[in-house]
């Protein structure tokens, strides 16, 4: 009888070698997620420019409409994610969703960086460097991005920017695949309907999360499509992408469908053509775009430059500049596509008149991290050149010392970010916003009305009223929103007994009409204690609120 063949030696090592990029990408994602999980906000938070979180959470968990541009992709994915998480509040689910999407983004960014570095490293090139150097450089640069201040700040709170980072990585990776197919790598004959459709679908769904990603989509996919030159473009390349884009943008149908059901949160009523355009175009915020100029613009430019050093440290910036120079020398069209996208995103972020507009630079930092990867790979592969220049480094001991110095230099980038930002970005003990909302509802009886004016108090009390403690039937009134007829109509539909029949013309008159209609009948409160909407009435401190009483 023949004996069973012995197991082949090296089977597992062979599998690991063949799938090493995917395994390292998974490792990068796990390390990033671990960092975010340890510093995750436990619930509702105002830190890291995340006051909008209450608005997004309320919309997601009531199938409603948040502030423009509606973010339908984010709402649908967050609600779906929350259904599979067995424990924790909705606010915790929102924070955890950001941690998971940001960590996944870093895994995909690693894969994209590896692809770029391998394109920089053709087999016939005399200065070719080892694949080991590519994997080390891509891993360290991706971890540097994971630990960068701006992305980290958004990976622990409820906001749309962590998911946007995931789409940035996916778009970058898809553009590289598109270019491979146009270049015939590996042995492809063009884009193909399936890949083109998938790329278009990705673009549309990404635009359903945040429209600013268009500044990345067009230059990168343009670079990908032009792999064979303009003359090589065919309708069969572009048509499936256009079809996929239209299908992906179909996610915006969420807005009119959800709005037609009359949810508690229904910004702009996008179930009408006028309301839909008001929503998706961000009409209410259009005055912010390109609203910064002169001296203020120069100050912002200086701040953004400092911000790059804050993300990656001085050594990281030097490596990034060196890497971009390296990419420019070997893949000039890719460098041009990167720079075009960077200019668009930087211009928008610098001229958008909000205090948190620098968050829009996260995609720029992600591209910069690939430049750092190129600089790291070049540095790691330079030991042979260094030994030729410095003969005393030819001994084994000196080679080890030189290699250690290089490794320390490149590892210093993510280590610097973690060491300098951990205390500032650790939100694990942040309970300020959630404690405020809970305390406010402990103060108020069922049927109370609370007037509020700031983003912090408005959105946190919306979340508490419509999601966390909906059974208490508290009526939160956002005084600034009373300027919109649609908001008045929503309040009248939800709380008909607490709203006057006549709608005054002015914002202040509308607020006072609600007070007069309820004074002496339902408990009234003012949320913002530093200033008041009703100076002519008596205010009595009551917990974190002020109780409104007649004088």
> In 3D, which of 404, 384, 381 has the Cα closest to residue 393?
384
pLDDT given at position 7 = 47
pLDDT given at position 407 = 64
- Strand-pairing partners, residue 449, are 475, 524
Question: Over 80: is that where the pLDDT of 404 sits?
Answer: no
pLDDT given at position 490 = 96
pLDDT given at position 1 = 44
> In 3D, which of 337, 377, 339, 317 has the Cα closest to residue 178?
337
pLDDT tens digits for range 229-270: 666 677 777 899 999 999 999 999 999 999 999 999 999 999
What's the CA angle centered on 158, arms 156 and 160, to 5 degrees? 105
Instruction: Output the CA–CA distances (angstroms, integers) from residue 348 to 40, 227, 478, in the order listed.
Output: 29, 28, 29
Instruction: Give the mean pLDDT of 423-440.
Output: 96
Q: Are 511 and 534 in contact (CB under 8 A)?
A: yes
| Residue 171 parent element (H or E) | helix 161-183
- Strand-pairing partners, residue 105, are none
Answer whether the bond into residue 69 is a cis peptide, omega within 30°: yes
Question: Over 80: is that where the pLDDT of 392 sits?
Answer: no
C-alpha–C-alpha distance, residues 273 and 207, integer Å: 20
Three-state secondary structure call for residue 413: helix
C-alpha–C-alpha distance, residues 314 and 84, integer Å: 42
pLDDT tens digits for range 474-532: 999 999 999 999 999 999 999 999 999 999 998 989 999 999 999 989 999 999 876 66
Three-state secondary structure call for residue 155: coil
Q: Does 143 or 533 have the greater pLDDT score?
A: 143
Q: What is the mean pLDDT of the chain?
A: 88
HEC string for 10-71: CHHHHHHHHCHHHHHHHHHHHHHHHHHHHCCCCCCCCCCCCCCHHHHHHHHHCCCECCCCCC
Q: For residues 418-453, b (16+ Cβ closer than 10 Å) or e, as one string? A: eeebeeebebeebebbbebbbebbebbeebbbbbbb
Answer whether the bond into residue 186 is a cis peptide, omega within 30°: yes
pLDDT given at position 433 = 96
Q: At 183, list the tokens.
A: 């270049």
C-alpha–C-alpha distance, residues 199 and 417, integer Å: 33
Q: Does 168 or 228 have the greater pLDDT score?
A: 168
Task: Provide Rg for the chain, Cα atoms.
Answer: 27
C-alpha–C-alpha distance, residues 498 and 520, integer Å: 12
Q: Does 426 or 390 have the greater pLDDT score?
A: 426
The pTM assigned to this predicted structure is: 0.92
Q: Are 220 and 336 in contact (CB under 8 A)?
A: no
Instruction: Give the mean pLDDT of 291-320.
Output: 86
DSSP class of residue 502?
S
Within 8 A by CB and 6+ apart from 475, the residues are 447, 448, 449, 450, 465, 491, 494, 495, 498
Task: Assign 415 a pLDDT band (cuts: 50, 70, 90).
Answer: confident
pLDDT given at position 303 = 83
Listed in sequence order, the DSSP H helices in 283-331 are: 294-330
pLDDT tens digits for range 255-265: 999 999 999 99
DSSP class of residue 548?
E
pLDDT given at position 299 = 86
> In 3D, which of 530, 547, 445 has the Cα closest to residue 538?
547
For the chain, the domains span: 15-425, 432-549
Task: Assign 2 a pLDDT band (cuts: 50, 70, 90).
Answer: very low
Three-state secondary structure call for residue 261: coil
Distance of CA 220 to the CA centre of its chain: 19
């Amino acid at each position: 009888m023949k004996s069973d063949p012995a197991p082949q030696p090296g089977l597992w090592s062979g599998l690991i070698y063949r799938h090493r990029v995917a395994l390292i990408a998974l490792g990068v994602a796990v390390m990033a997620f671990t960092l975010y999980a340890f510093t995750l906000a436990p619930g509702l938070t105002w830190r890291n420019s995340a006051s909008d979180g209450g608005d997004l959470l309320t919309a997601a968990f009531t199938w409603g409409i948040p502030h423009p541009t509606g973010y339908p992709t984010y709402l649908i994915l967050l609600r779906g994610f929350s259904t599979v998480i067995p424990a924790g509040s909705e606010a915790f689910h929102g924070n955890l969703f950001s941690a998971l999407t940001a960590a996944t983004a870093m895994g995909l960014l690693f894969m994209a960086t590896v692809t770029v570095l391998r394109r920089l490293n053709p087999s016939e090139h005399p200065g070719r460097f080892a694949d080991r150097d590519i994997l080390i450089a891509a891993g360290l640069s991706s971890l540097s991005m994971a630990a960068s201040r701006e992305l980290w700040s958004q990976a622990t709170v409820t906001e749309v920017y962590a998911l946007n980072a995931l789409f940035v990585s996916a778009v970058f990776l898809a553009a590289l695949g598109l270019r491979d197919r146009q270049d015939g790598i590996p042995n492809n004959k063009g884009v193909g309907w399936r890949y083109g459709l998938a790329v278009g679908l990705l673009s549309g769904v990404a635009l359903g999360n945040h429209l600013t990603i268009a500044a990345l989509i067009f230059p990168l996919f343009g670079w990908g499509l032009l792999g064979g030159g303009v003359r090589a473009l065919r309708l069969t390349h572009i048509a499936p992408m256009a079809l996929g884009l239209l299908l992906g943008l179909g996610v915006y149908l969420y807005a009119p469908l959800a709005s037609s059901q009359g949810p508690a949160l229904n910004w702009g009523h996008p179930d009408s053509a006028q309301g839909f355009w008001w929503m998706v175009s961000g009409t209410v915020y259009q005055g912010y775009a390109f609203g910064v100029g002169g001296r203020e613009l120069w100050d912002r430019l200086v701040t953004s430059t400092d911000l790059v050093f804050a993300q990656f440290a001085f050594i990281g910036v030097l490596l990034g500049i060196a890497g971009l120079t390296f990419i420019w020398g070997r893949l000039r069209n890719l460098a041009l596509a990167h720079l075009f996208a960077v200019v668009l995103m930087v211009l928008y972020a610098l001229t958008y008149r909000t205090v948190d507009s620098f968050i829009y630079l996260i995609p720029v930092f992600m591209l910069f991290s690939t430049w750092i990867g190129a600089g790291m790979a070049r540095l790691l592969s330079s030991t042979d050149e260094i030994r030729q220049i410095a003969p005393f480094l030819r001994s084994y001991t000196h080679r080890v010392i030189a290699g250690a110095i290089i490794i320390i230099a490149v590892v210093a980038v993510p280590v610097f970010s973690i060491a300098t930002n951990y205390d500032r970005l650790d939100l694990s003990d942040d309970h300020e916003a959630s404690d405020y909302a809970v305390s406010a509802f402990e103060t108020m009886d069922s049927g109370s009305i609370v007037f509020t004016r700031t983003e912090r108090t408005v959105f946190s009390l919306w979340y508490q009223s419509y999601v966390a403690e909906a059974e208490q039937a508290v009526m939160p009134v956002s005084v600034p929103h009373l300027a919109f007829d649609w908001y008045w109509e929503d309040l009248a539909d939800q709380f008909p007994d607490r709203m006057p029949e006549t709608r005054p013309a002015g914002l202040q008159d509308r607020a006072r009409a609600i007070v007069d209609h309820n004074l002496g009948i339902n408990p009234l409160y003012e949320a913002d204690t530093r200033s008041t909407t009703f100076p002519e009435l008596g205010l009595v401190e009551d917990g974190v609120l002020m109780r409104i009483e007649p004088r």
